[in-house]
């Protein structure tokens, strides 16, 4: 028996892989003008950083930060933006580049509000209030329809208990037609497939626990669950969103063996949406059907 027949027998070769994304959800947005991307990158590089570690993090994630910000729509009716998990990297760009009135949010005791600011060349260029709460347990401390856009970036994969609570609260605080921008690692990437077949590494892009001797050992939650692109879309739809577009992109430094790409294509598995980073923009639509506990996320549902 040749190797391909053996692999098909082991894995099971589908005639058509279940794939429920609407064609519009597979669409990649038109590339942002290069001038806009350059403007965003120039602004981010202009910001003062606390230390070499912070500067290194910014450089490592610059492509993702810029790509995410090019998805931000112009201000609408409320002219307000909320960033969950605000690390003050993209946050100041929402105000200084896009002209939003910005609110930040971070994990912490409900009701506490911190003042955060950033500087460039030693001069303060941005300041905002950051509300502390638990995004998967607390009601967000904002009125219905308060924001034109909510950024939920590199957050959902860290949630321990109830990601749908967060998505439903994002929907509630958005104005009708408002946009949710969500980014997260892709557990269905070529890198993840290669790691499974090689057996030597965990398929999640980030699967390690926090440094037991580090500063955030007691508060930093590792990646609890990384998502497939289909799951990201399905969760958004369950929360009452209409997915505007969803796409994945390659992350520098994750160069899986081309053999695994060829292998999946030969076996008639989907080749699209295999980059390591998932990006989605979804719109709130009043009256959309909501599924509070989708069965792919919760036991017994």
Position 300 confidence tier, pLDDT thresholds 50, 70, 90: confident
Residue 25 Cα distances to 101, 265, 283, angstroms:
29, 22, 12
| Per-residue pLDDT at 103 exceeds 50 | yes
Mean pLDDT of 224-248: 97
**119-175: per-residue pLDDT in tens?**
999 999 999 999 999 999 999 999 999 999 999 999 999 999 999 999 999 999 999
Interacting residues of 72 by C-beta distance below 8 A, sequence separation 6+: 81, 94, 98, 149, 151, 179, 181
| Cα angle: 218, vertex 151, 131; to 5 degrees | 55
Give backbone dihedrals phi and psi of 130, rounded to 5 degrees, phi first: -125, 120
Token readout for 228 is 């497939």
pTM: 0.88
Sketch the domain layout of the chain as residue ranges: 22-284
Cβ atoms of 96 and 46 within 8 Å: the answer is no
| Per-residue pLDDT at 6 exceeds 50 | no
Q: Does domain 22-284 have CATH number 3.40.50.150?
A: yes
Specify the pLDDT at position 18.
33
């Amino acid at each position: 028996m040749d190797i391909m027949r053996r692999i098909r027998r082991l894995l099971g070769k589908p005639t058509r892989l279940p794939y429920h994304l609407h064609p519009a959800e597979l669409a990649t947005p038109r590339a942002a003008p290069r001038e806009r991307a350059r403007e965003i990158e120039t602004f981010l590089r202009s910001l003062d950083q606390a230390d070499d570690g912070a500067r290194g993090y910014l450089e490592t994630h610059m492509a993702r930060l810029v790509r995410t910000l090019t998805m931000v729509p112009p201000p609408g009716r409320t002219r307000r933006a909320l960033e969950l998990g605000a690390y003050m990297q993209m946050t100041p760009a929402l105000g200084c580049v896009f002209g939003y009135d910005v609110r930040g949010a971070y994990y912490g005791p409900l009701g506490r509000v911190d003042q955060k600011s950033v500087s460039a060349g030693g001069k303060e260029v941005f300041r905002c209030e950051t509300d502390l709460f638990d995004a998967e347990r607390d009601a967000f401390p904002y009125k219905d329809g308060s924001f034109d856009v909510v950024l939920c970036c590199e957050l959902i994969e860290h949630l321990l208990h109830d990601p749908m609570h967060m998505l439903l609260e994002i929907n509630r605080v958005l104005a009708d037609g408002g946009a949710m921008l969500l980014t997260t690692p892709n557990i269905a990437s070529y890198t993840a497939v290669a790691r499974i077949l090689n057996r030597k590494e965990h398929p999640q892009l980030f699967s390690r626990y926090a440094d037991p001797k580090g500063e955030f050992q007691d508060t930093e939650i590792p990646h609890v669950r990384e998502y497939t692109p289909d799951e990201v879309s399905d969760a958004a739809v369950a929360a009452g969103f209409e997915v505007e577009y969803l796409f994945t992109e390659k992350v520098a430094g994750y160069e899986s063996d081309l053999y695994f790409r060829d292998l999946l294509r030969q076996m008639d598995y989907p080749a699209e949406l295999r980059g390591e980073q998932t990006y989605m923009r979804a719109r709130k639509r009043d009256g959309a059907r909501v599924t509070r506990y989708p069965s792919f996320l919760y036991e017994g549902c």
